[in-house]
């Protein structure tokens, strides 16, 4: 059995919770964002990180130009922290196999828009396996890709994966990315529009790095088109509310339309839209999946179409392709 050369090191390292909190700070590069994702007060996160630093006797990070940068000690704690939690996960998996899938943890990385359909699957899965804890980590494409790079989750729901990651993927669900506007927008009742018709509008868009913006940027580059006025918001719901208030138009997953009649949103039928992308179920190719993760992937593959409101989804995708989602009965000129 491996021995620790300094028997006092274990007491110096602080608690696992302190290490877990520091890993989140290191991952996000921000104490404030880590506190938000961990559902903790920002001072609590700062205190735990400070206690860990004091226990080790070395600073774990420094702030340079308003950016949090890890020290050499901080990077060492991150590397060892990942190894510690990986070992704990292996132990948990082994114990779960002995218990017969009655307990365990499933960690899922999800791009922001996927949260609109994933609960349809997670609900029945949790009912079947009530002893399993679910951790759903929601972020934009850059956040989830970093989580994949760091091997932090069991399975991911994303639109696209970079070529540098060795993964296995399964097509899951079509994701039309459409131009949306308030029903009160001056262009709302136009049957067809060209890009020139909307180019001077104020666009309310997701931040750079999100799945939808990746698709939008690719679309614009290929056609040598430009957006002139941009308001960036890091929340789909906030974008939806801003568009409802007629502050501008947006290019976003058509799933955000939701109940368009109630929300007062409509799709603008712009030439070239919707951009058709696809959500995928992704795992790292060389990752040893837990029995819980394997069961969830099989459960999703076999049951997704029965659990999701596919009739509504397929109808709405068809309407999005036609450019009339949210206004199919109201286009009159």
Tell me the pTM.
0.64
Q: 191 and 110, same structural domain?
A: no
Residue 91 lies in a domain: no
Q: 289 and 163, same structural domain?
A: yes
Nearest alpha carbon to residue 308 among 279, 266, 283: 279
Residue 329 lies in a domain: no
Residue 88 lies in a domain: no
Report whether pLDDT(5) > 70. no
- Per DSSP bridges, beta strands 155-158 and 104-111 are parallel
- Host H or E run for residue 264: none
Task: Enumerate residues 6+ apart whose C-beta is below 8 A from 28.
Answer: 34, 37
pLDDT for residue 229: 87
Model pLDDT for residues 7-21, shown as the tens digit of each residue: 455 555 567 889 999
Q: Which of 248, 277, 306 is the last residue of a domain?
A: 277
Q: 291 and 270, same structural domain?
A: no
pLDDT for residue 100: 59
pLDDT for residue 154: 92
Token pair belonging to 55: 């226990």
Mean pLDDT, range 49-67, rounded to an integer: 89
Q: 265 and 149, same structural domain?
A: no
Q: 286 and 150, same structural domain?
A: yes
- Say how far apart CA 275 and CA 261 lie, in whole Å: 22
pLDDT for residue 248: 93
The CATH code of the domain that includes 230 is: 3.40.190.10
246: left (phi over 0), alpha (psi -120 to 50) or beta: left
Residue 321 lies in a domain: no
Q: 306 and 189, same structural domain?
A: no
| Host domain of residue 210 | 175-277
Q: 290 and 254, same structural domain?
A: no
- The structural domain count of the chain equals 3
Q: Which of 277, 295, 323 is the last residue of a domain?
A: 277
Task: Enumerate residues 6+ apart whose C-beta is below 8 A from 242.
Answer: 204, 231, 233, 248, 250
The CATH code of the domain that includes 13 is: 1.10.10.10
Q: 205 and 249, same structural domain?
A: yes
Model pLDDT for residues 99-150, shown as the tens digit of each residue: 656 667 899 998 887 777 888 899 999 998 888 889 998 888 888 888 888 8
174 forms beta bridges with: 278
Task: Enumerate residues 6+ apart whose C-beta is below 8 A from 241.
Answer: none
């Amino acid at each position: 059995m491996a021995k620790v050369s300094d028997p006092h090191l274990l007491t110096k390292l602080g608690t696992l919770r302190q290490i877990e909190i520091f890993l989140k700070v290191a991952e996000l590069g921000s104490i404030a964002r880590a506190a938000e994702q961990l559902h903790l007060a920002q001072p609590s996160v700062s205190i735990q990180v400070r206690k860990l630093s004091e226990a080790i006797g070395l600073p774990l990070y420094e702030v340079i130009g308003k950016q949090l940068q890890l020290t050499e000690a901080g990077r060492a704690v991150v590397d060892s922290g990942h190894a510690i939690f990986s070992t704990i996960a292996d132990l948990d998996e082994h114990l779960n196999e002995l218990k017969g899938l009655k307990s365990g943890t499933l960690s899922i990385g999800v791009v922001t828009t996927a949260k609109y359909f994933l609960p349809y699957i997670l609900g029945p899965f949790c009912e079947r396996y009530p002893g399993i804890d679910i951790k759903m980590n929601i972020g934009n494409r850059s956040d989830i890709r970093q989580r994949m790079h760091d091997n932090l989750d069991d399975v991911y729901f994303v639109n696209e994966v970079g070529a540098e990651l060795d993964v296995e993927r399964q097509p899951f669900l079509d994701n039309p990315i459409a131009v949306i506007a308030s029903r009160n927008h001056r262009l709302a009742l136009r049957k067809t529009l060209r890009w020139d018709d909307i180019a001077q509008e104020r666009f309310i868009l997701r931040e750079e790095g999100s799945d939808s913006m990746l698709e939008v940027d690719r679309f614009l580059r290929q056609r040598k088109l430009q957006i002139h006025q941009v308001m960036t918001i890091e929340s789909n719901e906030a974008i939806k509310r801003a568009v409802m208030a007629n502050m501008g138009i947006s290019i976003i997953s058509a799933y955000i339309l939701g109940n368009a009649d109630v929300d007062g949103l409509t799709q603008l039928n712009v030439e070239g839209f919707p951009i058709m992308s696809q959500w995928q179920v992704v795992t790292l190719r060389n990752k040893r999946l837990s029995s819980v993760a394997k069961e969830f992937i099989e459960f999703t593959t076999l049951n997704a179409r029965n659990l999701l409101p596919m009739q509504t989804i397929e109808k709405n995708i068809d309407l999005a392709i036609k450019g009339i989602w949210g206004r199919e009965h109201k286009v009159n000129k």
